[in-house]
Structure 1
Amino acid sequence: MRSLVVLATLVFTTAASSAPVPKDVGQPVLYFSVREGDQSVFEVTGSSGTYDLTETVTKVVAKDGCMWVTVERRATKTTTVVYQVSAKGVSRVATNDQELAEPHALLKVPTKAGDTWTAKADTPTGPSTVYTAGKEEKVDVPAGKFMAIPIEGKITAQNGNGRIAIRTSWYAPNVGIVKMVYKVGDGVETRTLKSFKPGK
């Protein structure tokens, strides 16, 4: 009987030690898509109607301990945005080949509900954005269900009229934004992820 127990123990130990290690083990969690060819399609609904917005990762470069990710955005017009992605978060660093004076921090990781930070405008005369992190929650969109961190960005107009724009974006691991709600006055625009297709 004892020999059977010893044999069973050896078999279990050998199988456990030889089991393949998942590729994601030990890898940092990135709240953005960082593979060339990754494509996200969003449905955008607002005052101008409903239309699709397609974002495709066209280039990824490892630099300074980060991934520099170029995204082509196609809707009513085409724009190109470069993001700096790492285990510390996501920042916008360039738009349409115009490099920003400093990275605009969109998401900081790790973060907890109530954390705040301020990011300067993309242009020298633009207003800063005050970001506040929410608690991670489940988000249900046409592309599926995601656990995502909501980040509220509040922008106050500099012309003295006190008008405030609020943009809330939900970030999911390995995908990025899965939902966005943008409010200015009585106007509301929503963006929800319709599909996500990994690159090859």
Structure 2
Amino acid sequence: MYHSLLAILAVAPLAAPVPKVPAKTEMYFPTKVGAKWVYVYEFKGLCGSNQEQTDEVTAVEKKGGVFWVTVRQDVHGLPNSVSQFTVSGDGVTVSGRGGRMLPDPYPWVKLPAAAGDTWEICHSEPDGKPGTRTTVYTVGTAEKVLTPAGLFTTIPVQFKKAQFGGTMWHAPGVGPVKAVIGSGGLEVTMTLKSFIPGK
């Protein structure tokens, strides 16, 4: 359960009216190599101490008006996984994980965004198991989020998948600055500790 929660937050898988964000203006994820985030994970209801994760953009390729962004994620200084995102003025989509492209890419945030916007993504079961699972995403009210890295104006997106649910707060130019995901009595909070733009 512990690793499943981390996996969802690391790539995965996340509240009345949000002003319309003009398409093709702001990117809600970095598109420069060298951009680096440090996140702090806090656990409730789990055996384990808080930990830090460092993510860094290691490659960017532009195809048409879409940026394909590769991010390396390290936990405790050890390489953990690689994820790929597609980024444009239309939003941010998780396209790859663990060095492999996902058969069912899923948007983290769609632009323009307004409170109450929803979308559903049907995912194939992992490891070739038969069947599918559906994740429902709902845009919430734009809000300011204070983190150790600063104060950000964000678009919160709630998500619900099977027994998991939570919210991820997205800031322009930065990406996720906070996420909370829970299942039963278990809860993980991810907060941005620091952010360095790429060059």
The normalised TM-score by structure 1 is: 0.79
User: What runs of 5+ residues in structure 2 fail to find an aligned partner?
Assistant: 1-23
Kindly indicate whether residue 93 of structure 2 is the aligned counterpart of residue 94 of structure 1: no
Name the stretch that deviates more: 88-97 or 69-78.
69-78
Structure 1 runs of 4+ with >6 Å offset? none
Kindly indicate whether residue 77 of structure 2 is the aligned counterpart of residue 74 of structure 1: no
**1:151 equivalent among 141, 148, 157:** 157
Aligned to 2:5: none
Aligned to 2:13: none
Aligned to 1:24: none
Aligned to 2:109: 107
Kindly indicate whether residue 33 of structure 2 is the aligned counterpart of residue 36 of structure 1: yes
Structure 1 CA distance for aligned equivalents of residues 134 and 196 of structure 2: 33
Structure 2 CA distance for aligned equivalents of residues 114 and 192 of structure 1: 24
Identity %: 37
CA deviation profile, 1:95-138 (whole Å, cap 9, x unmatched): 12211124211111111111110112264645221000001100
Aligned to 2:188: 189
| One-letter code aligned to 1:133 | V
- Partner SS, residue 128 of structure 1: strand
**1:135 equivalent among 122, 130, 141:** 141
- For the aligned residue pairs, the C-alpha RMSD in angstroms reads 1.7
Name the stretch that deviates more: 107-116 or 125-134.
125-134
- Partner SS, residue 141 of structure 2: coil
Structure 2 CA distance for aligned equivalents of residues 64 and 104 of structure 1: 20
Structure 2 CA distance for aligned equivalents of residues 179 and 133 of structure 1: 15
Aligned to 1:169: 168
Structure 2 CA distance for aligned equivalents of residues 126 and 38 of structure 1: 34
Structure 2 CA distance for aligned equivalents of residues 175 and 141 of structure 1: 13
Q: Greater RCO between the two (CA within 8 Å, min separation 6)?
A: 2
Aligned to 1:59: 59
Structure 2 CA distance for aligned equivalents of residues 59 and 142 of structure 1: 26
Contact 2:27/2:173 (<8 A) preserved: yes
| One-letter code aligned to 2:144 | K
| One-letter code aligned to 1:136 | A
The normalised TM-score by structure 2 is: 0.79
Q: State the structure with more CA Rg.
A: 1
- Partner SS, residue 199 of structure 1: coil
Q: Give the paired residue count.
A: 168
User: What runs of 5+ residues in structure 1 fail to find an aligned partner?
Assistant: 1-26, 157-163
